[in-house]
Amino acid sequence: MDHSVAAGAAASDGIFSKTAFVITDIARRYRTAFDARVRHLNLSRSEWFLLGHLRYFNGCTQQELCEVMDLTKGGMGKLVDRLEGQGLVARSFDEQDRRTRRVYLTPAAAALEVELQAHSEAVEVEALSVLSAAETEALNRLLRKVRQGFLARTGG
């Protein structure tokens, strides 16, 4: 498929009129732009995604990370092993349930996470630069509403 032709297609043309496709395509382009900005950090997409998630949900369980990232327990275990080996995360047993492992950012990851956040914000500013402040707020409000609808139907 000629992506240059697809990129220039009118919004009402074919697949580009499908909301799910547009959301997925924007997310893919966001990840690609972010990957380019953080390439020098030598982190895989899964690694920077996990670190970014822990910035907001530090101490979540490996199972919760599996669900958020659509990874198997084995895949998540390997990912956390790699980050732990780099000194970026640490695991500890849950105080109430010793079978459960929680994952925490280490102090070494704190500075890295600040840099990742700055790159993320730069990509977002660039992506949303075509919208006014009012359009950006409306977009955020509508996307949150769609997300809440999914959460209400799926129970979380």
Q: Give all domains of the chain, ordered by start, each with its CATH number.
A: 42-122 (1.10.10.10)
Q: Is the pLDDT of residue 107 over 90?
A: yes
Band of the pLDDT at 9, cuts 50, 70, 90?
low
Give the model's pLDDT for residue 27.
Answer: 93
- Give backbone dihedrals phi and psi of 145, rounded to 5 degrees, phi first: -65, -45
Could you tell me the two tokens for 42? 């030598």
Query: How does residue 3 score in pLDDT terms, banded at 50, 70 and 90?
Result: low
89: β partners: 105
What is the helix (H) or strand (E) element at residue 103, kind and residue range?
A: strand 101-105
State the average pLDDT over residues 103-128: 93
Give the H or E element holding residue 89.
strand 89-93
Q: What is the pLDDT of residue 156?
A: 63
Query: Which two three-digit tokens encode residue 34?
Result: 């972010």
Residue 94 and residue 5: Cα distance in Å, rounded?
Answer: 52
The residues, ordered by sequence, that sit 6+ positions from 72 with a Cβ below 8 Å of its Cβ are: 66
pLDDT for position 111? 84
Give 24-55 as a DSSP string: HHHHHHHHHHHHHHHGGGT--HHHHHHHHHHH
User: Which residue reads 């498929």 in tokens?
Assistant: 1
| pTM of this structure | 0.75
